[in-house]
A = this chain, B = another copy of it.
Amino acid sequence: MKEQTLPIIDTDVHHSPDKKEVLAHMPKALAARGLALPGGNGFGNPHGVNRRDATPPGGGEACSDPAYTLEHHFVPNQIRYGILHPAGLLAAGVSADYRYAAALCSAYNDYMLESWLSFDPRYVGAILVAPNWPEAAAREIRRLGGRPEFREIIMTSASESPLGREQYWPIYEAACEMGLPVAVHPGAEGNGISNRPYAGMPSSYFEWHTSLSQNYMGQIASLAIEGVFNQFPELKFVAIEGGIAWLPHLLWRLDKNWKALRELTPWLTEPPSELIRRHVRLTTQPIEEPEKPEHLLQIFDMIHAEETLMFSSDYPHWDGDDPRFVLPRKLDEAARKRIFYDNAAELYGLPPQESTVSEEAANSATPTN
């Protein structure tokens, strides 16, 4: 079996926070309601969404044990750092009860500092915020953004309005102030107060999941056209788990329309594709798998993958990608290293490859602090 030897920063690991512990950090009156988030539309994956072997030996939910997660995922895959995103809490961002949502996000963030993030330095935290109350999200970003344990802001990609609109700008302002990238993650599309997605509500998990990337296209078009990247020249936006092969179309269509219609957007003084190349990062999983492998390599060229793409496993989810097989075989070593490590290290301000712990040290799952 092929071995994975390059060091990796995994930009999307779904840990399962201890819900009782999270609720214990909320005001009592809100915690009394339990985990009260908007539900989905009834469809789901008939096989569940988690790898069965991600369940800790002692039981519990997949990826709920920090020690086992290192042993099962980080060590064998040479993961030097993994950005943790919470399973089950992103829907806070589409809750009609924006006060409850903001309190839940804060509670999760406090819980994280005490649990996973103090367990091992390989765990990198993301500040959870709910975009349905941008001012509260901005406060939360300022409250915790100075802590080195947190290196990203995470929120749901499902929103009531397109994320470029000025109502969301307080989030981007605070993110830039704290020097953190804003990442979005799918999962709540069509739920709660979010816009009805796609060509209308899909009728199955298969259709819903296939179409998630459409929402990303709309969000990135909105961010670019509304001038978010002009207003916030330091902002980086991470589109997690939305695929990559649609980006060329979006870039080319934006640029073509910009040439003809930029009178409508006088703040756009350069082609939108340039803005997106500088400001947007994509993650690999679920990587597209064309019949002809060279097609993926061509897509990499179209999107400047060596600058814009970062590896993600989506561990422990059903469609997670294995780093041994995810990148096109013919991709050169330099691009491979950037996608596996350097692009994320630069984005999140993590140590360069050379300075990461030696393989022997990493091979020990013992917490280092």
**A-side interface residues toward B, CB under 8 Å?**
45-47, 159-163, 165, 195-207, 209-211, 213-215, 217-219, 221-222, 225-226, 243-246, 248-250, 252-258, 260-265, 286, 288-290, 292, 295, 298-299, 301-302, 318-319
The reply to whether A249 and B257 contact each other, CB–CB distance below 8 Å, is: no
The reply to whether A162 and B207 contact each other, CB–CB distance below 8 Å, is: yes
- Residues of B near A252 (CB, < 8 A) are 245, 288-290
- Residues of B near A249 (CB, < 8 A) are 213, 243-246, 249, 288
The reply to whether B203 and A289 contact each other, CB–CB distance below 8 Å, is: no
- Residues of B near A248 (CB, < 8 A) are 245, 288, 290, 295, 299
Can you offer 23 A-B residue contacts whose CB atoms are under 8 A? A46-B264, A47-B263, A162-B198, A162-B199, A162-B201, A162-B202, A195-B198, A197-B218, A199-B219, A200-B222, A205-B264, A206-B261, A206-B264, A213-B249, A213-B253, A214-B214, A248-B288, A248-B290, A248-B295, A255-B289, A256-B286, A256-B319, A260-B319
- Residues of B near A198 (CB, < 8 A) are 162, 195, 214-215, 217-218, 221-222
Q: Roughly how many angstroms separate A257 CA and B210 CA in the complex, as a whole number?
A: 7
The reply to whether B246 and A210 contact each other, CB–CB distance below 8 Å, is: no
The 8 A-B pairs at the shortest CB distance, nearest first, are namely: A199-B218, A198-B218, A245-B249, A252-B288, A246-B249, A195-B200, A161-B200, A214-B214
Q: Which of A206, A264, A289 has the most CB of B within 10 A?
A: A206
Q: Roughly how many angstroms separate A289 CA and B248 CA in the complex, as a whole number?
A: 10
Specify the chain B residue showing the minimal Cβ separation from A223.
B199
Residue from B196, B209, B254, B260 within 8 A of A261 (CB atoms): B209
- Residues of B near A245 (CB, < 8 A) are 248-249, 252-253
Q: A323 → chain B, closest Cβ, in Å?
A: 17
Q: Roughly how many angstroms separate A206 CA and B255 CA in the complex, as a whole number?
A: 11
Q: Roughly how many angstroms separate A217 CA and B209 CA in the complex, as a whole number?
A: 13
Q: Roughly how many angstroms separate A249 CA and B246 CA in the complex, as a whole number?
A: 5
